[in-house]
Structures are given as C-alpha cells and as structure tokens.
Amino acid sequence: MRIRTLLTLLILLAAVFSAAQTAPSNSSSSESPKQVPGFDVTAMDKSADPCVDFYQYSCGNWMKNNPIPADKSRWGRFNALDEYNLYTLRDILEKAEAPGNHSAIEIKVGDYYAACMDEATIEKKGIAPLQPEMERIAAIKSKQELIPQVANMHRNGIPALFAFYSMPDMHDSTLTIANLDQGGITLPDRDYYIKDDAKSVETRQKYLEHVQKMFELAGDKPEAAASEAKTVLTIETGLAKAAMDRTERRDPKKRDHMMQATEIAAAAPNFELIQYFADNGSPKFTSLNVGNPDFFKTVNEQLNAVVLDDWKTYLRWRTLDTYAPTLSKAFVDEDFQFKGNYMSGQKEIEPRWKRCVRSTDRDLGMALGELYVDKVFGPDNKARTVKMVQAIEQAMHTDIEQLTWMSDTTKQQAYTKLQAIVNNIGYPDKWRDYSTVVVARDDYAGNHTRAASFEVKRQYNKIQKPTDRKDWTMTPPTVNAYYRAPMNDINFPAGILQPPFYGNNMDDAVNYGAIGVVIGHELTHGFDDQGRKYDAEGNLKDWWTPQDGKAFEERANCTAEEYSSFVAVKDDKGEVHLNGRLTLGENTADNGGLKLAYMALMNILGNTPVKPIDGYTPQQRFFIAYGQIWCQNVTDQQARVLAITDPHSPGRWRTNGAVENSAAFQEAFGCKAGQPMVREPACRVW
C-alpha cells in the first residue's frame, strides 16, 4: 500500500540490506548515546539572520559540529534519535539472547539476533543458503516454467519481474483486493536505466561491475559473469522503460485499473498470469487492480524476445541481490560497496550489531516492538499525544472554516473527512503472532527467508477479505509517522514520541513546533494533492466542487513551482533541482502542519503572556524547534539519489520552504518584505 510518511528512512531503502561487516561483533552497551535534546541553543548559528536563512540560523552550529558518521550517508537529529533507539533495542536483544528465564517472544527475537551475530557460522555456510533457489532456477527447461519460479521467489520475498501485493479496493476501501504492478528493477528508480547524463551513465557502468563481481562470488568465471551482468542490465532496462515514472504514479487515477484476472492474463499472455495467481500462495480471486496494465503489455513482448537462459540469469541475479546481506562477508562487502558506498557515499558499513538490530526489527518487528513498548512507552505518553492530536484537529477545523477560496459545500465534506480520521498512537491494539515462524540459532539466512515468507503470506491472506484497519505499516520503535489514504488514519509509532520530537519536560512551544508539526503534517496528507482525491471512507471519490478543485490546484501549483526552484545538490557532476511535483504532497503537508500546530499552540497560550526562555519567545521557540528537527548533513551521493526518489524535500528546504510562506514566522522574527524568508506571493494551500 502507498502510505504518506514523514520522511524516507534510508534504512528502508538500503542499509538493512546493504550490509557488510567490519566491526568486531562483541559490543559493550556502555557507549550508548545520550537522549537527543529537544531544543538546543548550541545547535543555532546566532550570527546568521533568521530572515535571510532560517535553516542556517536554527541548525548552523549543529551542521558544523556534527559531521556525518562514517557508517551513515545522512546524519540529522532525526537519525540521532533513530540511533538512540538502536541502542535501546540492542539492550533488549542482548538480554533476550543471553541464557535466562525468557518469554516465548524474547526467545524468538533473541535467537534471531544471535543467529545474525554469529558470523563464524554464516561464514562457514557461504552461499549454501541460496543453493535451493539457485537449483530451482537452473532446472528451468522452458519459458512456461519461468513464471512458476517467479511465483516461488515472490513467496520467499524475492522481488522479480513484476510486483504482486494486497491493497484496499480504491473504490470500496472496506474490501482488500489483489494488486498487480510494475517492478523487477534493482537500481532505485527507472531514471537510472534511461537517462543519458554523465552521472547516470557512470552509475550504469558501476552497476555492471557490481553485478559481475557478485556473479563471480557466486562461482561464475569472470568472462561469463561480465556477460551475465550485461544481460541483467539489458533486461532491467526493458522493465524500466515499460514502467510509469514516480511523479506520474502520484496520481491515483493512473494506477486505478480494476480488471478481471482473465482480462489482464489475455492482454499479456506470456506472463501466464492465471498460473502465477494459482502458484503464488494467494487466496483465489477473479478480479484485481492492475497498477500499470501497459507495463504487462510491453514486457509481454520482452518475455518472448529474450532467450530463456537470459531470463534465468536475471532470476539468479534477483536472488543474489536480495539475499547478499544475509550471506558471508564477501557478499556483504560487495553489496555495501555498491549500494552503501558508491550509491550513497557512506564510508563504512554499520557495525554488525546495528545491522542485526535493524534486521530483527524488519523481520520480527512486532515482537521486538512489544518488548520495546514495555520498556520505554508508558500509558501517559499515549494520553498526552492524544490530547495534542485533538488540539491540532480542532485547529484544522478552524483553518478550514477560515478558508476564503473554498465553498461551504466543499467545506462540509472536508469537515466530514477530518472528523473521520482515525488516530493510532504508539503501537497496535493487538500484537502480531509469529509463532509459526521457525527461528534457528544457527541459520540467519534461513530465518530471514522464513520471516519474509511469513510476511508475504500474511499480506496475501488479506486478499478478498474485509480491510484490516488495525494492522500497522511501521514497527513501534520506528522514528517516523504516516497517513494512509484508504484507511484515512494517522499513525505515530512510539519511537518518534520522544525528544527531539516530544518530551514531558519540554515546553509547549517546543512540543508543538516538533511533534505538533508532525501531527499536523500527517493530518494535512489527508488533504494534499493525493489525499484530497479520497473521501472520508478512504475511497477514490471526488468530493470537491469543480471550482474549489480548480482553486486547490492553483494553490498547489504555487507550492510545486516554489520547491522546484530549490537546489538539492550541486557538485562536480552538476546541479540537481528538487522535483516540486514529486515532493508536492510532502511540502503541502509541511506547510499545513506548521500552520496547524502554530494555531493549536496559540489556542493553548491564549492571552497569558509567557516569559521568553533562553531569550526566545514561545513563538520563536516554536519555529526554531521546527527547524531543528530537520538539522542534517547529507553526502552529495545520497542527496542525488533522494532528489530522484524521495517525495520528501531535504531538511534545508523543509525548513526554509515552509517558513518563507508563514506570516506568523515573519511576525515572530520581525522579517520585512524583500528579505529571503518572506516569499511574495506566499504559497498557501491549507
């Protein structure tokens, strides 16, 4: 399911699976970092003028004093909290893996973690864990046998050729249905295969070298491996060319194609889709949504034109690539060299224990999360967050009331949608049951495969059933938040409900400037360029009068143009601008969130004068707290990848891009017309 998050966590993109090891595996918990401070005067660059560059003013000293650690490609206060959580989780896992009296959950996550840390056993096994999959591929004798193998790989969590998943029906969100979609590429975006600029050409060359090395590690001769790498690139380029681009896919209507299973099967006969649906372990269905029917029609011809051996090479590659981080050091290192070092500019791989904590969180996250919540998240955390959410929802109601560009007819619909938003805070009501996942203390790769298959099966089993609105997309320790249009819900994992986002000892101005804006951000997603197309029940349905829809689009265009003017990265490979269309939803949510949280804060403060703290008024502290959650340093390489793939803007523009539209900000710091942080005309949607 497509969800709107607060930020793209790089660990989801690469690090967990772009692992290699350099650090010794035994570790001491005494090195744990301190909690991240909520409001940090020492992070500021007071020599900067807040009206000229507010990001520099809020974060200048932080950026100067916090270079990117060698094992990261992006380092911000956000990541510092993520890192802090890693230490907490390690503590839990080290206790769970040690001998003692443990619950079934502790034994499961403890064994998983221990197996991941047991590098000697992993080393001894080498590529053996992959052999069954590789042998199945080798045994394929005809093109008819290809698709059953793709089905088998999908069941084991290996992405290949196309995607299949479950998702609520866009027109009846109460029912979850099957979805078939484009997929099958390895590089982070189709652009990497298609574009001809110097950097893209270089990336393809490096990718070829990487694929070749991986095949050599798997036992192939260098010449054979070189030719296999070319085959992989050629096939993936075909898949990339058939794929719809990321920005286009933001429009749900472009992905809305309800079809009979027999209909898409007939339109792309070489995919043998009826057989695939029977083989992939999903429940039976007769109709489904096809995200991009043209992809299947185009690749249908490719399936015919490319010879069988080349397809087998491609399937071997997808298997190798997916499982590399769970294999021996040589695979882990090569995988890191390309994805972590070359693509992201990360100097060193994360120590083994960090990768093993992330891996446990990914594979058994709701079990680890249960232990995490017991340890760190009290019931009063939940109660206080609920109160803030209510205050910000109230502010949104007032904000809608005051809109001059929206008719009463549309406003009534907007209130209905706002009222219907479900708030999920901390952790799910019901914990996931992993009892059927077999975890062995000496089989890391096997544990991962079994956990991945369990998750695939769990997702497939939702097909043709009432939508489970209580199932969480993120694990409790995650430092992030999300809105889901089909569910019309906002979700805040326990991991983000702590400093610098939220603290019991932090003043209201700071809590509202940080987690308050995050809450407002997620709420606004229900009303951004995508969210506004869904109604209160989460169905794709236009509830706007044509005139109000037009007024919205005009305002959104202003935001899109504003952010397109910002430079994401400028290095010896040239200058890359932000894609204002790709980031439109997130930027709308940032601008809206900032406004709503500020309104809520003003309601709380009322007319009682509040003394400045550290010399800053509550209004100023609110905006500085906002700027400071985005303090970050990013490698040029990572900034480039993010400019192409990330719907979120970088920290600098999340801060400056939003405050320059805010009259409240300009008032708080006495900014004058003509100064850089005073945009004219200001872009305002919500």
654 contributes a contact to Zn ion by CB under 5 A: no
CA distance 342 to 336: 8
Q: Answer yes or no: are the C-beta atoms of 552 and 542 closer than 8 Å.
A: no
Q: Answer yes or no: are the C-beta atoms of 480 and 494 closer than 8 Å.
A: no
**DSSP per residue, 261-280:** HHHHHHHSGGG-HHHHHHHS
Q: Least distance in Å: CB of 627 to Zn ion?
A: 17
Please report, as residue ranges, which positions from 589 to 628 form the binding site for Zn ion (by CB under 5 A).
589
**Which CB, 149 or 480, lies closer to Zn ion?**
480
Listed in sequence order, the residues at least 6 apart from 235 whose beta carbon sits closer than 8 Å to its beta carbon are 302, 306, 310, 311, 314
Tell me which H or E stretch contains 177. strand 172-181
Q: Least distance in Å: CB of 568 to Zn ion?
A: 17
User: From the centroid of its chain, how far is CA 216?
Assistant: 32
The crossing angle, in degrees rounded to 10, of helices 146-155 and 444-460 is 100
Binding segment for Zn ion (CB under 5 A), chosen from 5-13, 362-370, 409-417, 627-635, is 5-13
Count interface residues toward Zn ion (CB under 5 A). Answer: 4
Cα 505–Cα 508–Cα 514 angle in degrees, nearest 5: 90
Residue 334 bears catalytic tag: no
Q: Least distance in Å: CB of 518 to Zn ion?
A: 9
Q: Least distance in Å: CB of 485 to Zn ion?
A: 12
Q: Least distance in Å: CB of 470 to Zn ion?
A: 21
Q: Answer yes or no: are the C-beta atoms of 182 and 162 closer than 8 Å.
A: yes
Nearest by Cα to 493 from 511, 473, 509, 469: 473
CA distance 461 to 286: 15
**Which CB, 154 or 652, lies closer to Zn ion?**
652
Binding mask 549-588 for Zn ion (x = CB under 5 A): -------------------------------------x--
For tokens 């940032």, the residue is 590
**Which CB, 94 or 586, lies closer to Zn ion?**
586
Q: Least distance in Å: CB of 648 to Zn ion?
A: 7
Q: Least distance in Å: CB of 482 to Zn ion?
A: 7
User: From the centroid of its chain, how far is CA 251?
Assistant: 18
**Which CB, 265 or 584, lies closer to Zn ion?**
584
Kindly name the residue from 45, 106, 590, 646 that is annotated as catalytic.
590
Binding mask 352-391 for Zn ion (x = CB under 5 A): ----------------------------------------
User: From the centroid of its chain, how far is CA 665?
Assistant: 29
User: From the centroid of its chain, how far is CA 84?
Assistant: 19
**Which CB, 332 or 568, lies closer to Zn ion?**
568
Q: Answer yes or no: are the C-beta atoms of 59 and 43 closer than 8 Å.
A: yes
Binding segment for Zn ion (CB under 5 A), chosen from 1-9, 21-29, 84-92, 499-507, is 1-9
Indicate which single residue of 4, 204, 318, 462 sits in contact with Zn ion (rule: CB under 5 A).
4
CA distance 154 to 236: 17
**Which CB, 385 or 649, lies closer to Zn ion?**
649
Q: Least distance in Å: CB of 513 to Zn ion?
A: 17
Cα 491–Cα 493–Cα 499 angle in degrees, nearest 5: 120
For tokens 């200048």, the residue is 60
**Which CB, 63 or 589, lies closer to Zn ion?**
589
**Which CB, 169 or 586, lies closer to Zn ion?**
586
CA distance 423 to 489: 6
Kindly name the residue from 522, 562, 586, 646 that is annotated as catalytic.
522
Q: Least distance in Å: CB of 593 to Zn ion?
A: 9
Residue 522 bears catalytic tag: yes
**Which CB, 589 or 597, lies closer to Zn ion?**
589
Structure tokens at 389: 């959410």
Q: What is the DSSP pairing of strand 567-571 with strand 489-493?
A: unpaired
For tokens 């997808």, the residue is 318
| Residue 433 CB neighbour total at 10 angstroms | 11
Q: What is the DSSP pairing of strand 465-466 with strand 287-290?
A: unpaired
The length of the chain, given as a count of residues: 686
Strand stretches in 283-386, DSSP E = 287-290
Q: Least distance in Å: CB of 590 to Zn ion?
A: 8
What is the C-alpha end-to-end distance of the chain, expressed in Å?
A: 26
Binding segment for Zn ion (CB under 5 A), chosen from 4-12, 199-207, 242-250, 417-425, is 4-12
**Which CB, 186 or 385, lies closer to Zn ion?**
385
List, by residue number, the catalytic residues. Answer: 522, 590
List residues binding Zn ion (CB under 5 A). Answer: 4, 6, 586, 589
